[in-house]
Structure 1
Amino acid sequence: MDSIINKLTEIESAASAIVQHAEAEKSALDEKFNKKRMDFDKELEADTQRQIQEIRDKLEAETSRILSGQSQESQDELDALQKEYDEKHSDYAHEILRRITEV
């Protein structure tokens, strides 16, 4: 009977040691997984920020290009109006005077 009790005690001790080892291994794996997850999150965040900055840079460049084009178009329009005025302002003045004198 003592030998059976001794065997059961040995089995219980072995089982307890196996459980302790499994818990320690689980803890180590949890720590390793958490580190990998944190590294992945940091890398993903950095990549996301890089992509956002690229998009912002492209949008800024496109906005500048559009504004520059609009500015040039406005300047061209002003130049055309000034040229027309310079060439025809005396004609316009004579036409206005003619209309005034007709009334």
Structure 2
Amino acid sequence: MDSIVEKLSDIETTAEAIVDHAEAQKFEIEQQIQARRDKFDEDLEADTQKKLERIRAEASEKVDRILETQRQKNRSTIEALEKEYKENHTAYAQEILKRITEV
């Protein structure tokens, strides 16, 4: 009878050791999974930031090109208007004077 009790006690001790070991492994696995998850999040964040920086840089360059093109168009328009004025300001003044005096 004592040998059966001893065997049952050994089985119970072994079962407890297995459960303890399983819990320890579970904790280690959870830590590994969390570490992988954290690394994934960090990598994803870094990748997202790089892509955002690239998109911002491209957008900034595009806006700068558009603005420069617009400045050149505006400059050309202003130069054309100034040339038109220099060539025809006397005629414009005479036309204005004529309209004022006709009234």
Instruction: Provide TM-score, normalisation by structure 2.
Output: 0.92
Which residue of structure 2 aligns with residue 11 of structure 1? Answer: 11
Distance 1:12 1:101 in 2: 121
Which residue of structure 2 aligns with residue 26 of structure 1? Answer: 26
State the secondary structure of the residue aligned to 2:70: helix
Which residue of structure 2 aligns with residue 2 of structure 1? Answer: 2
Which residue of structure 2 aligns with residue 41 of structure 1? Answer: 41
Q: Encode CA deviations 1:27-72: one digit per residue, 9 max, x unaligned.
A: 1111111111111111111001001101110111111111111111
Q: Percent identity?
A: 49
Which residue of structure 1 aligns with residue 92 of structure 2? Answer: 92
Matches for 1:30-69 after TM superposition, within 5 Å: 30-69=30-69
Which residue of structure 2 aligns with residue 78 of structure 1? Answer: 78
Aligned residues: 103
Q: Which runs of 5+ in 2 are unaligned?
A: none
Aligned-pair RMSD on alpha carbons? 1.2
Instruction: Provide TM-score, normalisation by structure 1.
Output: 0.92
